Structure 1
Amino acid sequence: MSSFNRRTLLLMPLALAACGFEPVYAPGGSGSALNGKVEVSAPNTVESFLLVQNLERQLGRSATSGNAYKLDVKVSTNTRRTSITTANETNRYTIDGSATYALKSNATGQIIASGSVSDFVGYSAAGSTVSTLADERDATERLMVILSDQIVNRLYATPGLPA
């Protein structure tokens, strides 16, 4: 016998509304509050360029004037050998990445949201030098996509963003 009850399904929207849940992209949601209104800090490394590129893709590229928010991000990566043969040859690498962020209001200078995110990706080093470099570049791009997704998700979950 299943414990599924249709009444539970019907009451779910009421429960979500009672806890303050609102869709991100609904009118007045945090998605519309941030879209095109966030100036992301200028990149200074390849990794930060990729992170800023992904953040601007998700948040919308801001206009040069009229930005409501400034997003300062700092990214750091560390590459580790994770699969080493008995002959001391590396077959696989892992890139650990972390990013700190702070969303500030341009009107008040107050920090609205801040935090840090981290994750990792791996790539193979078993092929030629060219393929290993291509795999490393691809892994770095994937890591920056993951970190930017995490930052945007946390920004969208920030309570009290004015629309």
Structure 2
Amino acid sequence: MSLSDRSRRGALAALLTATLSLAACGFTPAYAPNGAANSLQNAVLTFEPDTRQEYLLVQRLEERLGRPVSPTYALDVALTIESTGTAQSGGATRSQITGKATFALKRIGTKVILTEGRVETFTGYSTTGSTVSERAARSAAEERLMVILADQIVDRLILAAPDLP
């Protein structure tokens, strides 16, 4: 089923209006050459990971922010992970992993905190399979959790980027 000419024109007009509205309000993509977060790209030195979870978090942070070439900022993160089982039909068949990350961004060479915050999220996995499948499910859940936490941290940094010196 194809759209009529009238529907197509209406859709194009709506798209054009939305585009012009964004341009009129001064919208620019965060990582554009003059974008607010451009100063963070390849400029944030992350902390040295000690655990698998920290490694996964740093890996995702570097995917989003780039690996530091000549770092301007240092990012410190304190990570807390908790696991709980949830009961269903008399026994625990799912587990939930909660992650909390407190972060602080500083200019390298100073102790002045430019921005800081705390992010929190959770994910779950099934515990009904074998020991091997349960370990694999937990590992995948931890990886998802670190990706979500890292994305939340980067989002907060992007929001703070226009105010960074």
TM bucket (normalised to shorter chain) is 0.7 to 0.9
Alignment correspondent of 1:28: 34
TM score, norm. by length of structure 2: 0.82
Q: Deviations over 1:2-51 (max 9, x none)?
A: xxx9697476236632xxx5420111323320111111011122211111
Amino acid at match of 2:79: V
Correspondence 1:70 to 2:74? yes
Alignment correspondent of 2:122: 120
Amino acid at match of 1:69: Y
Q: Which moved more, 1:95-104 or 1:41-50?
A: 41-50
Alignment correspondent of 1:79: 83
Post-superposition offset of 1:157: 0.8
Q: In 2, are the aligned partners of 1:40 and 1:52 still within 8 Å (CA)?
A: yes
Amino acid at match of 1:118: E
Amino acid at match of 2:103: Y
Q: Give the percent of matched residue pairs that are identical in Structure 1 and Structure 2.
A: 44
Unaligned runs of 5+ in 1: none
Amino acid at match of 1:62: P
Distance of 2:53 and 2:123 partners within structure 1: 14
Q: What pairs with 1:104-119 in structure 2 (closer than 5 Å)?
A: 104-119=106-121
Alignment correspondent of 2:152: 150
Distance of 1:10 and 1:135 partners within structure 2: 43
Distance of 2:109 and 2:163 partners within structure 1: 15
Aligned residues: 152
Amino acid at match of 2:155: N
Unaligned runs of 5+ in 2: 1-12
Higher helix share: 2
Correspondence 1:160 to 2:163? yes
